[in-house]
Amino acid sequence: MKPLKNIGVIGAGTMGAALAQKFAQEGFVVTLADREMQFIDKGIAGIKNTLQEGINRKLFTEEQMDYFVNNIHGTSELADLKICDIVVEAIFEDFDVKSDLYKQLAGILKPEAVLATNTSSFSVTELAKSAPNPANFVGLHYFFHAAKNRLVEIIPGEQTSQETIDKCHQFAFLSGKDPITCKDRNGFVVNRFFVPWLNESVRLYEQGIAGPGEIDAVCEKVFKIGMGPFALMNATGVPIAYHAQKTLELFGDLYTVSERLKKQALETGEPWQIDKADPAAISAEVFEKIRVRMLGVVFLVCAQILAEQICSAVALNRGARIGLRWSRGPVELMQASGKKEVNDLIMHIAGLYQTPIPQTIGQEHWSMDYVTLKTSGATAVLSIEKPEDMNALNEQVVKQLDEKFSIAETDPVIKTIFLTGAGKAFVAGADIRFFVNNIRKHSIEKIVEFTTYGQSVFEKIDNSSKHVIALVNGLALGGGLELALCADKIIAVENAAVAFPETGIGIYPGLGGTQRPQKRVGKALTKYLVGTGQMLTAKKAVEIGLFDGIVTRSEAFEILAGELDLIPEESSVRPDGWDEIERYFELNSFTKIIGNKSDPATKDNKILSRIPGKLASKAPVALKIAEQLIDDAAGCHTELEKLETVFSTEDALLGLTSIGRRVEFSGK
């Protein structure tokens, strides 16, 4: 597959400008087109304002901002799009205007160029009839704010080629987006259930059951979200909710636009008046009516989506988690509610709107694959795909990892197995919620069982007869770094970062983190990594020999697609400084360093000046156990012996519930 470099965006409004910004940030050369340069100027001014906010938050520098902006070239001439590999149309929602635009692009776009529409309401198949090449036409539906929200729905039309779909997945990977693929049906995935959810909230208000503030309060509690439906409509614009709902009315009475929503959008034009309410002050009867209606609508529509096979259960759930930032997606909510409760809620809504009940209610329809296995010839690619949780390891993910790896391991055709992740993380450690919940339930034995099983899976990977390559596509923390270290070779993308943060959150590495790094970097640098929790860039990881090489994101995609065989070999010569750190930890224990009693020969070295403070900020019990495990070097299984001890400490609960905040550990 040819590399993608030049990207076109048509429409410099809110969405188009945000897309141009995102693509430019990811290193693409962007041609931003609109009818007049005044619209381009306004769009770029908005981009600069957004980027300045990022600078104020120390997300990037002035130099980076200049680089991003310089990657964007504005034009009022469609002919300037002739260099583009992919063109994304992001103009206003008017079918005839879009169709006319596509006709104008005939003879301008390269024959192999992909033309994508960001439509949220029109049929991709119908729009494709006006496209220069329907096989190269596709829907790429992005979500607000497109420079920050990682979700994109990939919607093939009836004539969209597989090559075009593959290019879209490549583009999503390279542009830092998390894709879900769905059929070309009104509303696609997210809007299909989200917009009726908004509409139902207005119906509750219209029927006098509760006010906007009360409805928002109940929804925020039930769905565990930061903003209720009325606040969300105010943020995005009430007319947008109205017009989106109108496009869904063909699905039946359940989808008919509320009269109150129509009036608010077309007559008053005002945002909703929301009187903030305390959910505890809402009567149990009213609370239950809101809960039943709002959950019921989501469950019924999502059951319809699954019945119509618009997308998979995991894609449906991911759409809500990433696109809407729900803490739990609809499939997770259905799993937690159970078949009977879900069935009762759906029956209630179906009765209200005379809607058939889908036959997709039950765990067999709600199963989600978070680990995928793809094979091509003698190569298997095993990918952890739960980007909504940074691919964090939990019982379900580890079990699927075990099952999928075993399939590849026992396949006599497979010679090489790649391990990688989806999204911006390889694996960002274990699921902290699992640890916290079991500590609070006094069920630490479950943590021990999970870790024991995890170690057995990692050992299987470590001892595999196949050639295992970890392609670290992003953040690898704790268990993620431990997983990578099971591989025979570790390759990272340029922007990957790795660390063992455990001692800073009250625990120690339990999946081989005190043992396997020693084989690559030795005992002293393992102490440095585990004790300080220092984050390393991919470059630094290669410098010390922890990783074997670095590739660009484009090269990583080609490697996983089987289009690039070259795996880089990097120099193992360590730059100045690393030998001094190694010597420091060879001469001094954690206790001596923290007590400022380290060896005089290294005590005053500037490179090492921060280490005592870093070690002193860690959990003492975890630090002591980790050092002993590293010193003993008796095998990964020894990490299991002190798990109950460390997870029983006050420091463990404090650290695990204070991620991202500075805390002082007591050593208890």
Does 561 share its domain with 597? yes
Q: Which of 365, 397, 427 is the last residue of a domain?
A: 365
Which entry of 141, 438, 473, 558 is annotated as an active-site residue?
141
Q: pLDDT tier at 449 (50, 70, 90 boundaries)? A: very high
Residue 87's Cα: distance from chain center in Å? Answer: 24
Q: Cα-flanking dihedrals φ and ψ of residue 479, to 5°? A: -60, -25
Above 80 in pLDDT, residue 602?
Answer: no
Q: Is residue 664 part of a domain?
A: no
Shared domain for 199 and 170, answered yes or no, is: no
Catalytic residue among 118, 120, 317, 473: 120
Distance CA 264, CA 271 (A): 8
CATH number at residue 477: 3.90.226.10
Residues 450, 356 share a domain:
no
Looking at residue 605, its pLDDT comes to 66
Ramachandran angles phi, psi of 402, nearest 5° = -60, -50
Query: How many domains in the chain?
Result: 3
pLDDT tens for each residue of 273-283: 999 999 999 99
Model-level pTM? 0.93
pLDDT, mean over the chain: 95
Is the peptide bond preceding residue 145 cis, with omega within 30 degrees of 0?
yes
The pLDDT tens digits of the residues spanning 4-18 come to: 999 999 999 999 999
Give the angle 327-420-514 at the CA atoms, nearest 5°: 90
Q: Is position 666 annotated as part of the catalytic site?
A: no
CA 395 to chain CA centroid, nearest Å: 19
Asked whether residue 413 falls in the same domain as residue 509, the answer is yes
pLDDT digits (tens, 9 = 90+) for 455-479: 999 999 999 999 999 999 999 999 9
In a domain, 206, yes or no: yes
How do residues 556-572 score in pLDDT, each as one tens digit?
999 998 877 766 666 66
Q: Indicate if 442 and 550 belong to the same structural domain.
A: yes
Average pLDDT over residues 42-56: 95
| Angstrom distance (rounded) from CA 360 to CA 305 | 9
DSSP notation for 588-654: --HHHHHTT---HHHHT-GGGTTHHHHHHTS-HHHHHHHHHHHHH---GGGGGGGHHHHHTSHHHHH
Helix axes 229-236, 212-222, angle to 10 degrees: 110
In a domain, 34, yes or no: yes
Contact between 419 and 488 under an 8 Å Cβ cutoff? The reply is no
pLDDT of the residue at 392: 97
pLDDT at 576 over 90: no
Range of the domain at 173: 6-181
User: Is 589 an active-site residue?
Assistant: no
Catalytic residue among 133, 149, 153, 438, which?
A: 153
pLDDT bin (cut points 50, 70, 90) of residue 574 is confident
pLDDT for 85 beyond 80: yes
- Note if 406 is an active site residue: no
Looking at residues 620-624, what average pLDDT do you find? 97
Active site residue 637: no
In this structure, the answer to whether residues 384 and 416 fall within a common structural domain is yes
**What's the rounded mean pLDDT across residues 199-226?**
97
The one catalytic residue among 191, 312, 391, 438? 191
Per-residue pLDDT tens over the stretch 152-208: 999 999 999 999 999 999 999 999 999 999 999 999 999 999 999 999 999 999 999
